[in-house]
Amino acid sequence: MDKNRILIIGSGYVGLTVGIALASFGNHVIIHDKDEYKLDLLQKGNFPIYEPLLSEMFESNKSNIVFMHDISRAIKESHILFITVGTELVDGNLSLTNFYEAIASLEKHLEPGKIVVIKSTVPVGTTDNVRERLQKIYGKEIIVAVNPEFLREGNAVNDFLYPERIIIGVEHEEESIPLLQLYSKIDAPKLVVDFKTAEMIKYTSNVFLATKISFINEIANLCDLFGIDVTKVAEGVGLDRRIGKDFLKAGIGFGGSCLPKDLMTLIKISENVGYNPTLLKSVKEINEGQVRRFVYKVISVLGQGRGILGVWGLSFKGGTDDVRFSPSIEIVKMLNSNGFRVNVYDPKAIENGKKVLGNSVDFYYDPIETVKNTDALLVLTDWPEFLEVDLSKVAEVMNKRYLFDARNIFDPMQVRQHGFSYFGVGRKNV
Ligand code: UDX
């Protein structure tokens, strides 16, 4: 059988993961990005993002992968074309500029017989619009599909290879066959639906996860007042399989490039069709409140602007270098503007952190150095390696011993044994 000739338009987390993984199945993959510099880096094997397993998988499959800047040639040389460009929030609104730029290239260079697959998360109704535009030029021989991606940063390769489900949205059921064949090596339920349903499944999944997090954060805020430990409450309710234990970690709220953006977009598109999504708005409000509450807690313990703070963690969650919509970054900014001097450390996100925090804080490359002579340690991201740092060493070099655990990763009693006062989220202060 001939290898599939695949094009990936957009080399972010999703595009690179999908492209390299499909190459590992033996397909011939062209990866295009409008950023020439990024493509050059990739060509040399330098990954502009940190994603576990990705560069290793690239090394073992690079004979199947070509990075190509020339979009017209890239389109001509491929048969299945994936759109994986990023979309972003601009002033609270979803901008589809990059997405429609990619569609404009297809309008110029496509040929009948090709399959266009949308993986970027797009508002309900977008795929219909793309199909109309492309079929108007090239006729019914162009197949358009929407195939949302559910991979998580930091776990992207495994999530792509071992997904919980594959969703394929098409106009006519038989148009899903090429994609079902492409994914035949992946053992997961495959659901073929229409465009709008596929688009809505993606939004519903992400917004449901966001809702679960805001829900447990609201409970955490109550636990704070009742003097109960929310991690125990979450453990107890999570044992009920109807609820499930995942996404019940209370903290400073969800960030990243997907959950906040998809929530905002679903709110906006609901309002556009005349519906007031009160639950979704509360999810957003609770999320924004978590950052403020945490800052307030620090100020109420230490006093406004009093002291030097050591921060561990800038990325929006452990396992990634991504700082987009990171609650940790928000907190650092707020503490800074409240007069605190802040030292920061992150295992992978220092460079990205520098781009957004500039010289407003001091950056460190070692967790212990970060907290030397500080008055409080703030753990803002759930990096597993933070649990391996010797707390007795931390205690030794600090000026005062306050530990604010924004992700509830430490055992309060153990922390206490090292002489710290411990403050979690929705946990008794000890
Ligand atoms: C998310 C979806 O999980 C994924 O399916 C989709 O394809 C892209 O968006 P990602 O943004 O990589 O993935 O991060 P995720 O692991 O979902 O975490 C999102 C945010 O929620 C992070 O800031 C994380 O720290 C926070 N979170 C997660 C919590 O605060 N509590 C939890 O229990 C889980």
Q: Whole-number mean pLDDT of the chain?
A: 96
pLDDT exceeding 70 applies to what percent of the chain? 100
Nearest CA to ligand 1 atom 32: 247
* 30: confidence class by pLDDT, cuts 50, 70, 90: very high
> In angstroms, what is the span from residue 401 Cα to ligand 1's centroid?
31
pLDDT at 7 over 60: yes
Q: Give the Å distance between the CA of 383 and the centre of ligand 1.
A: 14
Q: For residue 204, give Cα distances in angstroms to 165, 197, 212, 262.
A: 14, 10, 12, 9
Q: How many residues does the chain have?
A: 430
CA dist 328 and 323 (Å) reads 8
CB 118 within 8 A of CB 45: no
Residue 362: CB atoms within 10 A of its CB come to 14
Sheet holding 308-312, edge to edge: 362-364, 341-345, 308-312, 376-379, 402-405, 421-423
2 falls in which pLDDT band (50, 70, 90)? low
Residue nearest to atom 2 of ligand 1 (CA): 152
CB atoms within 10 A of CB 413: 9
User: Is 223 a catalytic site residue?
Assistant: no
- State the sign of the Cα–Cα–Cα–Cα dihedral 69, 71, 72, 76: positive
Say how far apart CA 122 and CA 145 lie, in whole Å.
Answer: 12
- Note the pLDDT of residue 96: 97
On the 0-12 / 13-18 / 19+ scale of CB atoms within 10 A, 51 is buried
Tell me the CA–centroid distance for residue 35 and ligand 1, in Å.
27
Ligand 1 first shell, C-beta below 6 A: 149-153, 206, 209, 213, 247-249, 251, 254-256, 258-259, 316-317
pLDDT, average across residues 4-32:
97
Segment 22-46 shows an average pLDDT of 95
Across residues 29-58, what is the average pLDDT?
93
What integer is the mean pLDDT of 99-115?
A: 97
Summarised one tens digit per residue, pLDDT across range 70-83 is 999 999 999 999 99
Residues pairing with 423 in the sheet: 404
Task: Give the residue whose CA is nearest to atom 10 of ligand 1.
Answer: 152
Testing ligand 1's pocket by substitution, the residue of 87, 121, 151, 209 carrying the most ligand atoms inside 8 A of its CB is 209
Distance set, CA 150 to CA 131, 211, 265 (Å): 23, 17, 17
Q: How far is the CA of 256 from the centre of ligand 1 (A)?
A: 7
Atom of ligand 1 nearest to the CA of 210: 21
Of the residues 258, 295, 378, 379, only one is catalytic, namely 258
Mean pLDDT of 202-212: 98
Q: Is the pLDDT of residue 430 over 90?
A: no
- How far lies 130's CA from each of 8, 14, 78, 175, 278, in Å? 17, 20, 19, 16, 31
In whole angstroms, what is the distance from residue 84 CA to residue 32 CA? 10
pLDDT for 95: 96
Sorted by sequence, the CB contacts under 8 Å of residue 233 that are 6+ apart come out as: 219, 223
Q: Averaged over 394-405, what is the pLDDT?
A: 98
Q: What is the pLDDT of residues 247-278, one digit of tens each?
A: 999 999 999 999 999 999 999 999 999 999 99
Q: Which ligand 1 atom minimizes the distance to the CA of 149?
A: 7
Separation of alpha carbons 192 and 221, rounded Å: 41
pTM: 0.96
Q: What single letter denotes the amino acid at residue 169? A: G
State the pLDDT at residue 48.
87
Predicted local distance difference test score (pLDDT) of residue 370: 98
Q: What is the pLDDT of residue 428?
A: 80
Nearest to 19 by CA among 50, 2, 42, 37: 42
Q: What pLDDT is recorded for position 1?
A: 46
